[in-house]
Structure 1
Amino acid sequence: MRLLYTGLLYLLLPLALLRLYWRGRRDAGHRQRWRERLGFVPTLSPGGLWVHAVSVGETRAALPLIRALLDRYPDRPLLVTTTTLTGSRQVREALGERVQHVYAPYDLPGATRRFLRRVRPSLAVIMETELWPNLLRQCVTAGIPMLLANARLSERSARGYGRIRGLTAAMLRDVTLIAAQADADAARFRALGAPRVEVTGNLKYDLALPTDLPERGRQLRWDWLGDKRPVWIAASTHAGEDDTILDALARLRVRWPTLLLLLVPRHPERFDSVAVLCRQRGFSVIRRSERNACMPDTAVFLGDSMGELLLLYAAADLAFVGGSLVATGGHNVLEPALLGLPVLFGPHMFNFSEAGERLLAAEAAWQVADADELAAAVDRLLADPELRRTAGQNGQAVVERHRGALTALLGSIEMLLEMPPCHPAPGDKAD
């Protein structure tokens, strides 16, 4: 099964490189450092720590852990890898030169072997559910322990992995320890053959906000948005959601004519098309990148910058979190909750089901299915400041109550660093 998988990847490699070139026509960053994806990375000092986070969401979730590792192991080099360009930019913006960054290699035996020879980490910390058979096997062969941190596995993903049960079981045996977010995630990993699983909690609850963030949010609102007008944010939206959100905005502005929508698409390549869509729908739009203040008739403030989502949350009265009106699985609802905002999201929350359910149970969030329900929920919250305040306090309490994953993960990392080198499991032939 692994040979078949690897052969397919080699066949797809030219298409992957062509895709980087094609996306580079819009953003040259996609073409830069492409050799790193084949394992041609700078040679680093041995014995460092390696944290892999796929994109922006995983990187932001990993920040408390990365900062704690920098403080706890100041003498160990710390490498952070990402898969996406946006993830790379998030690393640089949040951590600067405190860590080293390269792109993770494609999951080819030669690329992963080359990458590990040059990086030579003492521990690999892989965020959430990044399961790559060849990379995991090369780590075992090199004697590098692996922690799958903040691991989650939805029912949908578990069914997919179950269709390739042999390959999945071999991958999970290669992982030294899986630190699952919740009991349900742990049970699904075990059902697929993972031998070493513990529940440490969701690292996203351990997010630490900058102390000046609320004040900066108020300042943004005063200087750029219009302090006296109601403001709601639709964050991390995907294709297929923006029309629904704009439908809701049209309904809401009948009753709230000064209402401002902060619209933040998830992916930068959609910024231009979403701006065009807003104007086609008859809304006056200001883009964050234009650095112009909103006018009284501005209906949409398009968040087309990177790394400012928390700031935009801090400037809003309530939040809708996208990726949930379409079958993407939702995005992090804990960030706006920690900022004291009432939270709205759609029916597709399988990637954040536990967090969503906790917020709903605490009356800190509302689930909506379409433009009518979204408009009705926003209208109710705008009309009732006390409801907004109570919901925001409830959400903050949920986040505070479930902190602790960071401490548990640091304990697991300390234990793994003290382990003797790992070796391939009996009967598993290394590539």
Structure 2
Amino acid sequence: MQQKNIVRLIYNLGILLAHFILKCTAPFNSKIKLGVIGRKKTFKTLKHNISKTDRTLWFHCASLGEYEQGLPVFKALRNKYKNHKIVLSFFSPSGYEIRKNTEIADVVVYLPLDTKKNANQFLNLIKPELTVFVKYDIWPNILNELKLRGYRAILISAAFRKNQSFFKFYGSELRAALFSFEHIFTQNENSKNLLESINYKHVTVTGDTRFDRVFSQLEQDNTLDFIQEFKQDNICIVAGSTWPEGEALFVNYINTQASKNTKYIIAPHNIKHTQIQQLKNSLEVKTVLFSEKDTANIKNAKVFIIDTIGLLTKIYNYADLAYVGGALGNTGLHNTLEPAVFGVPIIIGNNYNKFPEAIDLIKNGGMFSISNQKEFNLILNEMIENKTRRESTGIKNLEFIKKSKGAVIQIINYLRI
């Protein structure tokens, strides 16, 4: 008991220290500044939008990726409980700033820092009948207060690894927070086994809700006339969420080996003007930016650089082959399921071990991992030259998505409010 109290004290002091550091660094970092300013408005926003008689649901996501992951569950609950107000919280500015006007929620706020005082004030205002956390972002004070009040809470699309703090001798505070969830829905059996190793029994393996999310994309209108105008009848290679190390491979390939019947779309993760111009200037073929498309002749361009956000999912619909960035460096692999659902082969870097969907897609034969220019060129040339191989490889990705979806139905069937 004394050890638990010491761990709890260390955790609470750490939160206070983090708050101090964030305030001090905010003037020098625009992203941190957005979070600091946004958190100051959280309680005021809730007081203005939530009344004492409102019935509420609370969805929490660390960032944009977790929001997209949880979205099919959010939509199902929104449709099922039309008379409830929905509060959506984010920890990261990259989630809040992009989805602060989402129709899925009535109120969107930053999650306050996890102090006991903030936990009490936050829950006093929203009193959620159901709380849904997505994947991770476990905050002990808030979750323990949920449990003390008898509020229902679930964790969906959870993915655990043995080296995480939950399963270490010093992770008692985080382990206790996990027991605040009445049920945890995991992505895989390994995560279930890890939970059972700490005596958490209320767990179901449902898979990743992202499979449901991306499969629903096929039901939408994915037409982009300007992409069709650019592509015409050529083979189209789409490089999504790229970082400099991946862009360097494409620049070298396009400048030295690109054939006449191929076109390239590059959608960088970083769309700052300086970096976009550097990328454009490094290419020795006709290149057009999205921001120039209304005045440029995109039909004659070889490369189309997307210097905006929000279009990539639909652009993958036009891909014959896709590259997804993040795994050549240490930034983390971006969403590979978005191109996979359109039935195209995918190339990624070699740092993908923390991404189970990438491991599975590679095992299934629809994705290739490369670590250098030579490997990149070999795969790209083979996929471009061999249409039968390209199409059969891509179909493996679509079939994998179809086989893996279904988590949302299991979660909704479990829930009863």
- TM-score range (shorter-chain normalised) is 0.7 to 0.9
Q: How does 1:9-408 map to 2 (within 5 A)?
A: 9-24=15-30, 33-36=38-41, 39-43=43-47, 44-45=50-51, 46-92=54-100, 95-96=102-103, 99-156=106-163, 158=164, 162=168, 164-192=170-198, 194-207=200-213, 208-209=216-217, 211-214=219-222, 216-217=223-224, 219-223=225-229, 225-238=230-243, 240-251=245-256, 254-256=257-259, 259-266=262-269, 268=270, 271-279=272-280, 281-283=282-284, 285-292=287-294, 293=296, 295=298, 298-353=301-356, 355-408=357-410
CA displacement at 1:124 relative to structure 2: 1.0
CA displacement at 1:369 relative to structure 2: 1.9
For 1:51, give the aligned amino acid: F
CA displacement at 1:350 relative to structure 2: 3.0
Distance 2:186 2:152 in 1: 17
Deviation per residue, 1:310-342 (Å, 9 max, x gap): 112123221112222223442332221111221
For 1:402, give the aligned amino acid: S
- Provide structure 2 residue ranges, at least 5 long, that are not aligned to the other structure: 1-6
- Provide structure 1 residue ranges, at least 5 long, that are not aligned to the other structure: 418-431
Classify 1:163/1:40 alpha carbon distance in 2 versus 1 (closer, same or farther; 3 Å): farther
Look up the match of 2:4: none
SS of equivalent residue, structure 1 residue 261: strand
Distance 1:287 1:82 in 2: 32
SS of equivalent residue, structure 2 residue 307: coil
CA displacement at 1:290 relative to structure 2: 4.1
Distance 1:195 1:36 in 2: 38
257-266 or 118-127, larger mean C-alpha shift:
257-266
Distance 2:332 2:110 in 1: 25
Deviation per residue, 1:338-393 (Å, 9 max, x gap): 1122112222223422x223322332221222222122212211112222222222
SS of equivalent residue, structure 1 residue 78: strand
Deviation per residue, 1:381-429 (Å, 9 max, x gap): 1112222222222211111112210011112332xx3xxxxxxxxxxxx
Distance 1:392 1:92 in 2: 35
For 1:315, give the aligned amino acid: Y
CA displacement at 1:75 relative to structure 2: 1.3
Q: Is the 8 A contact 1:324 1:330 kept in 2?
A: yes
Aligned-residue CA RMSD in angstroms?
A: 2.9
SS of equivalent residue, structure 1 residue 107: coil
CA displacement at 1:304 relative to structure 2: 3.0
Distance 1:148 1:294 in 2: 49
CA displacement at 1:244 relative to structure 2: 4.0
Distance 1:178 1:188 in 2: 12
Over the matched positions of the two proteins, sequence identity in percent amounts to: 20
Q: Is the 8 A contact 2:276 2:307 kept in 1?
A: no
Distance 1:73 1:386 in 2: 47
